[in-house]
Structure 1
Amino acid sequence: KLQTDFQSTGSIRFQSYINPFSFQMMSTLSELLCSIAYLMFIIYMMIEIIQSIRRMKIKYFHDVWSYINMGIIICSWTSLLIFGLKYQESKAIGKFFKETNGYDYIDLEYAVSLDQLLKNFLSLALFLGWIKFVRLCRFNRRISLFIQTLQHASRALWSFSLMFGVIFIAFLCLFYLLFISKLSTCADLYRTAIMLYEMVLMNFDAHELINGSSFLGPFVFTLFILIAVFICLSMFLTIINESFRYARDNLKSQRTEDEIIFTFMMKRFQCWIGISNDSHERDGMMREKYYTPTDAFPNKVDQLLTALDRIYTNQRQ
């Protein structure tokens, strides 16, 4: 895909994109079975959500995890719809290619757009699914500490995000308007935002800013580092540290039955796959507990003979 960008300064920038995609749809039986199982799981989730809404009504939407469940369902059904459209488009392209023997122009932009949308929605559904998996493992002490830290810091993080967003947008407009005609990394708002995020991560090219403007470049760069990095990131770390300390103190005296059961299940699973030595340690403890005196008699006799031999040797000396 070739794209021509007419900038506000009068310059013209040419860009090219290559988006590979595949026409194969469900090439193996395992993919089909996994897709069917996934759809059945989504239908089960929908039934559970409907029952929860009927039972809890508006209170159901007070929980953050409810939005994650709904996000998974929306992304999954949207992906299924896009998959159907992509399948129809692939069949149409294949039919047109067969009729023309590949000698006529084929417009693949619509098919590529559908493929990109499908990947985006599937990626979002996978991301939300892993977050839900973390919640299922909340009985683990470390994961519970992580979840409680985020829950305690949620309000402070919302306020911090609003403040940081205002500051970031202000610097975004500043860098974009100052260096739009001087730096390729500030050609549009998207690239400027990426450059600022890289600056927050201390990944930047100072010589490029100096070449863009000998005075304004270092000045705005220093101002951004002082405000966004030293001040804002310090506030962010302070919020996380305070919430972590609160969650850690709250979990010190808590050891629920669910956590004990989860720990027991994990140890049994590790023993089952052979990466834990708990079974050997337990067998050793059992042997020590039920060690009969007759089993220790030969060792005691050897110790007695050794002691008598030592006494006899000392008397002769």
Structure 2
Amino acid sequence: MKKIVITRRINPAMVDKLKKDFEVVVWDEDNTPMPRQRFLEETKDAHGVMTMLSDKVDEEMLNGAQNLKVVANLAVGYDNIDLEAAKSHGVIITNTPDVLTETTAELAFTLILTSARRVLEANRELMAGEWSGWSPYHMAGTDVFGKTVGIFGMGSIGAAFARRLSGFRTKIIYHNRSRSEAADELGAELVSFEELMAESDFVLCAAPLTEETRHRFDKAAFDKMKRSAFFINIGRGAHVVEEDLAQAVRNGDIKGAALDVFENEPISDAHPFTDIPNMTLLPHIGSASVDTRNNMMNLCVNNIMEVLNGGKPITPVR
């Protein structure tokens, strides 16, 4: 019987679906990744693996997994996987595009409004019993209505976020490797990276991580932004030079920032962002709705089953 390894606890119904035809090993410690050594040991005789972003699929792992045919990554991104190494070992890599687009766009919209209207700052003040009463400029934030929003990475999530701006009469600009038809339909304007940073009142990073985009948002980039502007990141933490962003917000070079992703996750209370009041920080919950996570898991399961039963993957990477 072919063996499948699942590196986190998932919906039991998905596991049962696989158990009909396969031996299934699940790492069942909630909220903790499968330890690296255990991952390497369990995958030695595995035919399929469902991985998370915390699982590194590299030459070391692939060398030891001689039976491996398919890795289903529970994410749209796959920067945890060495695609060239997987190709050389004949291992198919799949991801979960489309099913999490709308949910992640909703989270991006939550971040832009939460940051602009200082929601978390206001909540912390109230819960700490420090609210002294109403006054004209108390916790006064920034309107999103009528502003310019710049999107870095006009893929499906960027476009879904842009659609949500329609009721706010914003001007939408974006920077992409190529022109986006979806953006054209929304009346968004393709601009240079420099224009995006200089003209936007809100900059949203929604791009996949590549060597081109790694640390693209550094001191030079933040220096181009308006002092009244906000930076929002739902892409990958490694897009950002985190010390540079912390300095830009602390110094008032930009108004604030909202982040769902970090370069090294999880972060601790010693992270340079955690003591900055006008930074909204979330623990990588972009696609975290029950329906979407179940849909992602089901797609991973179906990808694994298709490949191991001799069929074609549903959502192969490249």
Quickly name the TM-score band, shorter chain normalised.
under 0.3
Higher relative contact order (CA 8 A, sep 6+): 2
| Structure ranking higher in strand proportion | 2
| Structure ranking higher in helix proportion | 1
